[in-house]
Amino acid sequence: MFYERDGKLYFERKGETVCLFAQGKNALRVRATMNARFEDTNWALCGGEDVRAEISADGESASITNGKISATVSKLGQIRFFKDNKPLLEEYYRCYEYDMPHTPSLRIVAREYKGIAGGDHKVTVRFESCDGEMIFGMGQYQQPYLDLKGCSLELAQRNSQVSVPFALSSRGYGFLWNNPAVGKADFAKNVTEWRAESTRQIDYWITADDSPKEILRNYTDLVGRAPQFPENAMGLWQCKLRYRTQEEVLQVAREYHRRGIPLDVIVIDFFHWTRQGEWKFDQKYWPDPAAMVEELRSYGTRCMVSVWPTVDKKSENFAEMDEKGLLIRPERGSQCFDFLGDSMIYDATNPAARRFIWEKCKKNYYDSGFTMFWLDEAEPEYTVYDFDNYRYHLGTDLAVGNIYPRCHAQAFYEGQKAAGQTDICNLLRCAWVGSQKYAAVVWSGDIQGNFETLRDQFAAGLNMGIAGIPWWTTDIGGFFVDVKEEGHKELLLRWFEWATFCPVLRMHGDKGPSDIPALDGREYGGGFCHTGLPNELWSYGEDVFAVLKKFTQLRVAMKPYIAEVMREASVNGSPVMRAMFYEFPQDERCWRADDQYMFGSRYLVAPVLYAGMRERSVYLPAGTWKDIRDGKIYAGGAVIRTAAPIDEIPVFEKSGT
């Protein structure tokens, strides 16, 4: 049965209700449920509901149109999408009831509901796969594939894995799985499947337009965009695991200042505190943080401080937070995290918990001058990722867990904004759809230091941008690193050269091997946790330092251009790092270019991603291109072979930009 109500198209059959309506430009949203009514949850989508669609229906079928996109629904419920009246995407059915040229005896339907204890459903939504289609976006996965066609992706947050379920198709559409449930997305050759382990309804959104840029604009119109990136964070960020004392931080900053190297940000890592969940400095090693911040400011350096969501049961805040229900609750056991303590995790999906942690951090950090926060462990990280074992304020982890990092970013962004801050920029290890509007710089997690991992980060950064997260970075050289290993200097140089053309240029890592003794014998506080080897630009020898300094100076010189690119991200949602097809959607070779990219619209960057490589091929699209290293001019529309010595990265500037 079809009917129209309040500008929306409804279909009912066999206990299922399906609703299609216009939301945003050239876009449709689909909800479906086996319950008596729909849940009034927007999750990622905000705004655009006042768009009116064209709807028609009779006893056999119905249709709905919003600009370039339209959909038809058959009398048995199959949905087909069209762009400018040409087939775009259709649901997958292999069932007796459907008049289709496929084997019906399989009894497979597009929208499948499996009841689970508690009344919710495990759902699967299936679409026909299209030969030749390429898929991009979806967040960050530790694999080297830019084109995700053929990939199976877990929809779950882990250390170094970021689920942002927005996919951009080479067929001219963008698809948002508007559901924070743990699940899976399979972009197989024979079928596309989206699964949620526990949910009350199906909810997805699709837009069709003429270019990737227009698709990203339509998408970010509704999920939000990053604010303007602060100019005073566009240069070098210095970090290591870990600066243990106030004096160590100041010595590093003073040395940068003495050498004349601009340092925009220096970062204080974990266990500067007394216990996890106390969110304050150990005064034994940090006697006057406010004075430290003032001295850093005199060098033009901002100071970022690490905040973990973990709460040690021995901490001063645990009893109050437990009593007030501000912690994630395990269904089994009494622990969430066991790194250097028996800890629970604060529940960022609870507004009261967000206010609690911000008030503590405002008192102990912000009021002393700290205006940047490193929100580590933001997935959150569990000792064991048993997603069926945790319950949040908004629901079970299985049903809502993927939204946690966005809520965590929201806690600090809203607190800083209420305090009057305008240059907000915080670092997180995870994200979900819309995290960008809370000023989140996402980094790629605790990764290995090798060229294989570097290639994984290359694909991850581009796909994060396509998923709507423009502020992204990595631990240069990797997090887990033995700096004594042969080849590490080459890796560090290649990684730093590439990172110069990433949204954020950031030195970090647990640089080993290290046998540096603890500062004291306590089993808590700022002195007992280990530290890695030095990680400043000059820490790897004068030959390496000369190259890193050269690229740091290049980064500083590029700040006006970087500001332009960041402004575009805040205006229309464009990534900072852009897959080649984003700027050249009519060029088929750009859709398949997976080892080069555009830094904004002006610079083509061709990083060296393999050990020992001293030259490489680069595809230059149509136009005229200048090698920024020597000024040589090339005609586009061809592949060239270019030199890539150890102290250089091939970068080409597009004429006319």
List pLDDT tens digits, range 78-114. Answer: 999 999 999 999 999 998 765 667 778 888 999 999 9
Judge whether 2-223 and 577-654 match in fold. yes
Tokens, residue 613: 């490589």
Q: Would residue 388 show up in a list of annotated catalytic residues for this protein?
A: no
* Pair of tokens at residue 572: 């229309």
Asked if 466 contacts 136 with a C-beta cutoff of 8 angstroms, the reply is yes
Task: Please give the share of the chain, as a percent, with pLDDT higher than 90.
Answer: 93
- The one catalytic residue in 376, 377, 397, 583 is 376
Q: What is the dihedral of CA 187, 193, 196, 202, to 10 degrees?
A: 120
The pLDDT-based confidence of 331 (bands split at 50, 70, 90) is very high
- Tell me: cis bond preceding 230? Omega within 30 of 0 counts: no
Q: Exactly one of 193, 379, 456, 475 is catalytic; which is it?
A: 379
The 3 state secondary structure assigned to 623-642 is CEEEECCCCCEEECCEEEEE
Q: Which CATH number fits domain 577-654: 3.40.190.10, 3.30.565.10, 3.40.640.10, 2.60.40.1180?
A: 2.60.40.1180
Cα 88 from Cα 208, distance rounded (Å): 9
Over residues 563-602, the pLDDT tens digits come to 999 999 999 999 999 999 999 999 999 999 999 999 999 9
- Averaged pLDDT, 354-375: 98
In CATH terms, the superfamily for domain 2-223 is glycosyl hydrolase (family 31) (2.60.40.1760)
DSSP 82-147: EETTEEEEEB--BSTTS-SSS-GGG-B-SEEEEE-TTS-EEEEEEEE--TT--EEEEEE-SSS-SS
**Structural domain boundaries of the chain?**
2-223, 231-308+350-383+394-572, 577-654
What's the confidence (pLDDT) of residue 97? 66
Catalytic, out of 120, 197, 446, 456: 446
- Residue pLDDT, tens place only, 206-262: 999 999 999 999 999 999 999 999 999 999 999 999 999 999 999 999 999 999 999
Q: What is the pLDDT of residue 312?
A: 97
Query: Residue 612 pLDDT more than 90?
Result: yes
Mean pLDDT of the chain: 96
Identify the CATH number of the domain defined by range 231-308+350-383+394-572. Answer: 3.20.20.80
Task: Say if residue 406's pLDDT is above 70.
Answer: yes
Tell me if residue 379 is catalytic.
yes
Decide if 264 is catalytic: no
